[in-house]
Chain A
Amino acid sequence: MNRFAELLDRLAYEHGRNNKLRLITDYFRTTPDPERGWALAALAGALTFRYAKPGMLRTLIAERTDPVLFGLSYDYVGDLSETIALMWPQPAPQASPQRGEGEESPSLSDVIETLATLGKAELPAQLARWLDALDETGRWALLKLITGALRIGVSARLAKTAAAALGGKDPHDIELLWPTLQPPYEAVFQWLEGRGEKPVTADPAPFRPPMLAQAIQETELAMLDAADYMAEWKWDGIRVQAVAGIGADGARMARLYSRTGEDISKAFPDLLDALRLPGAIDGELLIRRNERIQSFNVLQQRLNRKSVTAKLTAEFPAHLRAYDLLANGDEDLRERPFAERRLLLEAFVTLLADAHVDVSPMVAFTTWDELIAARADPAGAGPDAAAVEGVMLKRRDAPYLPGRPKGPWWKWKRDPFLIDAVLMYAQRGHGKRSSFYSDYTFGVWAPGASGDELVPVGKAYFGFTDEELLQVDRFVRRHTVNRFGPVREVMHEPGQGLVLEVAFEGLQRSTRHKSGVAMRFPRINRLRWDKPPGEADRIETLERMLDRNAIA
């Protein structure tokens, strides 16, 4: 554990991608199997053992520390694992300057192998023994590991790239193999070190790392040649990969994956049945009801359900709107240009002939002005227009590349909704923003018992620059009228307060919020130091947006 903890610790402070790669590759080179394999799995987010829930960690620390002091410390540090690592009472009264290197200190393999078989009831006591045996860094790394959130600025991609560098291989090769590999990856390391054959893919329905788009603005279009690109609607659902194949036993196997490779097949049995042809479709998961694609709000109602019943699938029928074809039968199409894949996709979906799957229509254009007009009025998308969240631009000649390459794909979202709201409460943030008031609850004016009053309509914690964060943080500290634990109530009178221009993607009715509305993806667009709170928007403005947003 200590070497792995040391690696995580150094990675957490390292900024440069190349330095991070060097650190990880060095670690792989100098660490034996299976330890390094488990480390790769941890860095790539491929561990599947039972993660400890934050609640369990809180209980453990609560048994050992004063709850108020823990609360204040957590509020300050802004990270549960780190707070516990720092506060954990050390068995020896004097902090040792060396790392805890006694026999008791567990290795990463010990931890993972123990967790694989440990009963749920035994976990807290085992965890406490490990925490006793480790030093601050070790405790921090262990807690990060078992809560499943390393957050040290290392992506799965980076970890795989570092592994590939061990044998001078192309990281893409590892990506292609990845879905079929199991930790601790001894065979992969053998291959990378030139001591073994390349492992073969055996999964008939593997996940393929998706290609993602960069955002683009209207002003940037001029730099691109319209003739190089094709456009299609961007649908407001969940990006998925629908894969079907024939297993070694001859049986058909179908799987639905989320964008991150999570297998979400169980949640959408109604869609799985439609995947009768071997192949891999990249598309958007939507709800199609009464011949129409429904808004994201409707999809969310299905997503929030724990059990999938016949009633649910009847009420919220899943639909796949296909964007791309990554494999046709056994043939990998990802090296082919988009325009060609698109034709293959249309043929594939026609052959599939299932009402649950259709092809996302293209948006015809020859000049950027035509595309600008189409985006401004998505009515061109027909009855499904309410589920459009912008347009996608794809280079005709681009292969399907994993990750988010700059250039081949662009997403151009529709303009967000904007309102002016008043800052009401602020809370300290987490992570790099811990100790700064960075989470803002804002409200709009509504008729109250004694005249107009502000009702909270949402909370946002990004969208502003670091400089603006400093300004708002200072404002919060100087205009605090009340404190509730980590939350501060901020002056919000018609004549005194801070107006925030809030951008958001959509609105839905909510019984949880006093205002009756909930925003989707709200963020701070601008600080309106110039505007008195009395001139901020009213709840009626939001209600009108709600009507506009709603669909039949």
Chain B
Amino acid sequence: MATNTYLSKMRPEDILLPTLSGVCCERGGFYIDPTRPVARALITHGHSDHARAGHGAVLATRETLDLMRIRYGDDFAGTSQPVRYGETVTLGDVAVTFHPAGHVLGSAQIAVACNGLRVIASGDYKDAADPTCEPFALVPCDVFITEATFGLPVFRHGDPAAEVAKLLHSAALFPERAHLVGAYSLGKAQRVIAMLRQAGYDAPIYLHGALESITTYYRNRGIPLGDVRPVRLTDRSKLGDSITICPPSSLTDLWARRFPDPITCFASGWMRVRARARQYGVALPLVLSDHADWKGLTATITATGASEIWVTHGQEDALVHWAVMNGLKARPLAIVGYGNEEEEAVIPGHAEGASPESITTDHGDSEGAVVIDSGQPLRGFRHDSEAGGERGK
């Protein structure tokens, strides 16, 4: 146990230490969202750049554990222990509490407290409304570890309902054409469906096969999604006047061409920037994000009352600059290993004939790619389907 003199000199790094493999808590004997297999891991949410298979013991929300099981199979970890939002678990001499992050179903911020100092690893989060998950909970803390996926002032996500209205408007305008909506398989796809229902769209919504298992899980957890049908059971060439949700990579697949004169839509925060939308060959960009925009990031940081922020991934330069200008202590964790690999794996100008496979990354589960040619561990979280696919478009 810490002595009283030690207590007064406690530093955030004594609780959580950024390492090459993720943020590490020595006192509690765990890592948060480690990028390599470790003995004990706390997982913020189910996206595969944060939730990897092969850890000894995993502590996460029930939904996150279920989603890992769906993706990796029953043996995704040695042991697993579900934790409820607000429940505090003591590990070593630190107290760990999971709070809703508003990112996807089951997503959590992890608060780690010791001797009166509280550090929050927020994983990925958003402060916008989402009918498919618990809203972001604001938890005061001393150090806030934040993402910066959309950490530039050019990212203003706007009103999500207006983006869904844009889709419905286009569907009404071109009733003979199929609308294909690219959406990440965990979270975004289900959110788009739920928001279409909220907007009063009650026709069947069709689903690409890669989205079926997770969507079924969402439904089983009580998220109202209405009449959702696997598109594989339908003749695609007869699906004019319909909306189909698919992984972004499928938008440019042969698969998409079977639809009658399809309009390719993509629901992502990246759609705010024209070059990104064009790199995908998207005809109808929908600015719909599961990450906080610039205003969301800066407002959240301010509201936590944290005097220090650590930035894990994304546009860390800009967010760190903003924090410093606003009198906060701030550091990018990129310097200790969270790299900005986020912009890889997109080919610009697919119109020039880039292969569709290389344009996106979503297909769910690309957990294999942790090692690069030099044999060194990849710096930072490898993207996968969701966050990764979303980053850098």
Contact = CB atoms under 8 A, between A and B. Distances in A.
B282 A13 contact: yes
Contacts of B348: 432-433, 436, 466, 469
B275 A432 contact: yes
B18 interface: no
Nearest to B359: A466
Interface string B148-166: 0000111110110110010
A86 B159 CA distance: 15
Nearest to B372: A478
A472 B292 CA distance: 31
A interface: dominant SS: helix
B153 A77 contact: no
B315 A76 contact: yes
Interface stretch (A50-58, A61-69, A294-302, A367-375): A61-69
Contacts of A77: 154, 273, 275
Interface in A124-144: 136, 140
B272 interface: yes
B367 interface: no
Interface stretch (B4-12, B58-66, B133-141, B316-324): B316-324
Interface string A478-522: 100000000000000000000000000000000000000000000
Interface stretch (B35-43, B70-78, B115-123, B338-346): B338-346
Interface stretch (B80-88, B100-108, B302-310, B349-357): B349-357
A477 B340 contact: yes
B150 to A, nearest CB: 10
A467 B158 CA distance: 34
Contact of A95 (B158, B285, B354): B158
B158 A79 contact: no
A13 B343 CA distance: 21
A87 interface: yes
Contacts of A180: none
A529 to B, nearest CB: 11
B358 interface: yes
Contacts of B325: 66
A382 interface: no
A26 interface: no
B347 interface: yes
B154 A435 contact: no
A428 to B, nearest CB: 9
A470 B353 CA distance: 14
B341 A97 contact: no
Nearest to A9: B274
A82 interface: yes
A434 interface: yes
A12 interface: yes
B135 to A, nearest CB: 19
Given A466-B347, A473-B343, A474-B344, 12 more contacts: A12-B278, A13-B283, A13-B284, A15-B351, A69-B153, A73-B153, A86-B272, A140-B274, A436-B348, A467-B354, A469-B348, A470-B344
20 contacts: A15-B281, A65-B153, A69-B152, A69-B318, A72-B318, A73-B152, A76-B152, A86-B155, A87-B153, A95-B159, A97-B161, A432-B278, A435-B343, A435-B392, A436-B348, A466-B349, A466-B353, A470-B344, A477-B340, A478-B372
Interface of A: 12-15, 65-66, 68-70, 72-73, 76-79, 82-83, 86-87, 95, 97-98, 136, 140, 431-436, 466-467, 469-470, 473-474, 477-478
